Structure 1
Amino acid sequence: MSKLFLSFFILVVSSFALEEVTPTYSLKATGAVQGIVYKDELLYAGTANGTVEVFDTKEKKIIKTIELPKIKDFMGDTIPAKVYSIDLIEDKILIVTQGMKGYRNLWIYENEELKKLIGIEKKFFIQKASFVSDTRIVFALLSNQIGIFDIEKNEVTVLTQVSQSSFSHFALNENRSKLITTDESGVIRVLKTSDLVVEKRLKALNLDRVYQLDFKKGKVLTAGQDRKAVFYDSFSSYALNFDFLLYSCALSKNAKYGAIAYNEENEILVFNTSSKKYLYKLIGQDATLTQILFISDKEIFASSDSQTINFWRLK
């Protein structure tokens, strides 16, 4: 049997082995969903409609809507403030929104009250923010500066320039002690959230911008503009190559499974990170993926630049 025929045979067998899964159910937000967070059977969705919407995943309906103050655009028209990122800790919600003149606002929602932590007077282009603790927040600017905001002191206590490349994405580990961040260079850095000192740099296997990454059990998965998904662990690393730009990725809680938005149909590939075996193809998303979220090894939510949030239960 020739090598060419053998390769073709393996490809055909693999394609037939990939199980296609349709959504178990869908949730409908009021605007395109930019990010989702899950806790205690509640799904929180930040939308381009200027809201954070809370869904009861048992009842499959919206039970709460947090409306962010509207802003005026460059023409003077009043518009919703697009939500760029959200995070949760205890009963607090952290929200990054569009501000006047293109700058960003950082909010905290607690006890039914919305409080602004950072306003447009700082002239920050905040791309993403997360809780480090209930009193400290880490945030990233488009300029690839990473900062710490102390809620009790009401001030930015650390602000460091990670590199001259524009920021892409960051993710925290489970206890929020470490942060991995990436940018248009494809380089991944590990920082300590205590002082934002770079602890290590991972060998760059992505050759261009990494759009998104995830960080679970000390392992990292990337989704890159170079059409590569790279999986890093402490022993070895490997790249999976695709035919389309990779915009979103996720790891399961134990990092046993990975998920990649891998083609122009906005389908999601689920694979085993140890064996590299492709397991499932999740279909039904109708726009570019913004986030994939494992809530267990067999349960996945995904949001996109549409109002639809899909949920899949795998066999």
Structure 2
Amino acid sequence: MKKIFVALVFACLLFAREIHPTHTLKTPFEVSSIQREKDLLYISTLGGEVLIYHLNQKKYRPSIKLPLLRDFFGNSYPPKIFNTASNSKNMLAIVSANAQGKRNLYLADGNHPSHPPTPLLTDLNIAKVLWLNEEQILIALLSHEILLYDLPRHQTLYQTQISQSSFSDMVLDSPFLFTTGESGVVYQIHPKNGKILKTLPIINKDKNFQIVANHHRIATAGQDRRVGVYFLDTGKDLSLRSDFLVYAVGLDAPTNTLAYLANEKGDIALVNLLSKKKTAMLTGLQGIANNIIFYKNNIIVSCDSPYIYFFNKGEL
């Protein structure tokens, strides 16, 4: 791939337009991650609940509660929920901690949140799940193994070791799956059979915390203070420097906008991918961002805190 390198120095931050949240959503628990499916925002929390927030109606739906755990002394406590994935039928795959220090995978019906979640897999080191289709779930283990689980057959169709480096994140950009981890390498995988097709040109030299995709563009958030962007349709790539560890990144292909954690204050930088220029800084966050989602006229940012922030794209 033809490589473009852009160094973003600290002085540039002083001239970027500051944008403040138009709305802040305070949740009852600390947020571990957020996922969007259509107009619903699924909020995974440390309080053993998946909160469901309707983005258009701006109100909560009934939440999904996982069973309480018991410690060695018989005390009850809620499980930490790491990740939630929803399919188009509003069925949720939920990854949570268990009392043995490992993780369980639950299936829940978002249309009937009062129904008890069904345990699918237990005592695995599951890091993240994604729906491949309505009946199959992609499962990533901390050991960087990828599994495909078939719901009707209650069977694992394949289990592939991607790398000896630990897993960080994965994302679907149809028809491929992309995954990355401690090494910073991005792998392109055939999700139906688990075959590794290729690795993308190396941009990040250390652990990637996150990988996102939007309309055949891939972005990575690196421990080496780099953001990597891959343009799959043109074969080009782009490297951006940050002044802080990049824990979170977001992409909006229709507006050619990249968002990433820019500094230790928690500000989010917005960059136009065509001009390679920083256009704005999202400020006023209390905490370090863990997810950045573009939705209609909003940029939604969750942090390692009880707060979720909404910014107006119209201010760009």
TM over 0.5: yes
- 1:146-185 map, 5 Å: 146-173=146-173, 175=174, 177-185=175-183
Aligned to 2:4: none
Find out whether 1:301 has 2:300 as its counterpart: yes
* Offset at residue 54 of structure 1 (A): 1.1
Aligned to 2:186: 188
Aligned to 1:222: 220
Q: Larger relative CO (CA 8 A, sep 6+): 1 or 2?
A: 2
The range that moved more, 210-219 or 107-116, is 107-116
Q: Given that residues 19 and 282 in structure 2 are in contact (C-alpha distance below 8 angstroms), is that contact kept between their aligned partners in structure 1?
A: yes
Aligned length: 301
Alignment-mate amino acid for residue 158 of structure 1: Y
Q: Given that residues 26 and 308 in structure 1 are in contact (C-alpha distance below 8 angstroms), is that contact kept between their aligned partners in structure 2?
A: yes
Aligned to 1:104: 103
* Offset at residue 17 of structure 1 (A): 3.9
Distance 1:16 1:305, change over 3 A: closer
Find out whether 1:116 has 2:119 as its counterpart: yes
Distance 1:30 1:264, change over 3 A: same
Paired with 2:187 and 2:10, the residues of 1 have a C-alpha distance of 34
TM-score norm. by structure 2 comes to 0.90
Paired with 2:137 and 2:103, the residues of 1 have a C-alpha distance of 15
Paired with 1:250 and 1:156, the residues of 2 have a C-alpha distance of 31
- 1:39-78 map, 5 Å: 39-73=37-71, 76-78=74-76
Aligned to 2:247: 247
Paired with 2:204 and 2:166, the residues of 1 have a C-alpha distance of 15
Alignment-mate amino acid for residue 132 of structure 1: L
Find out whether 1:33 has 2:36 as its counterpart: no
Alignment-mate amino acid for residue 257 of structure 1: T
Paired with 2:62 and 2:70, the residues of 1 have a C-alpha distance of 25
* Offset at residue 16 of structure 1 (A): 4.9
- 1:200-211 map, 5 Å: 200-211=198-209
Percent of aligned positions with the same letter in both sequences? 31
The range that moved more, 233-242 or 259-268, is 233-242
- The CA deviation string for residues 113-143 of structure 1, in whole angstroms up to 9 with x for no partner, is 32111122xxx11010010001000011111
Aligned to 1:128: 128
Distance 1:108 1:275, change over 3 A: same
Structure 1 regions of 5+ residues with no counterpart? 1-6
Distance 1:56 1:159, change over 3 A: same
Q: Given that residues 217 and 255 in structure 1 are in contact (C-alpha distance below 8 angstroms), is that contact kept between their aligned partners in structure 2?
A: no
* Offset at residue 199 of structure 1 (A): 1.3
Secondary structure (helix, strand or coil) at the match of 1:101 reads coil
Secondary structure (helix, strand or coil) at the match of 1:23 reads coil
- CA RMSD of the aligned region, Å? 2.0
Paired with 2:37 and 2:84, the residues of 1 have a C-alpha distance of 13
Paired with 2:193 and 2:53, the residues of 1 have a C-alpha distance of 35
Aligned to 1:93: 92
* Offset at residue 99 of structure 1 (A): 1.3
Alignment-mate amino acid for residue 186 of structure 1: G
Alignment-mate amino acid for residue 35 of structure 2: V
- The CA deviation string for residues 267-314 of structure 1, in whole angstroms up to 9 with x for no partner, is 111111222110111112211211111113x42101111110100002
Paired with 1:125 and 1:74, the residues of 2 have a C-alpha distance of 21
Secondary structure (helix, strand or coil) at the match of 1:195 reads coil
Find out whether 1:237 has 2:240 as its counterpart: no
Secondary structure (helix, strand or coil) at the match of 1:254 reads helix
Secondary structure (helix, strand or coil) at the match of 1:102 reads coil
* Offset at residue 255 of structure 1 (A): 7.0
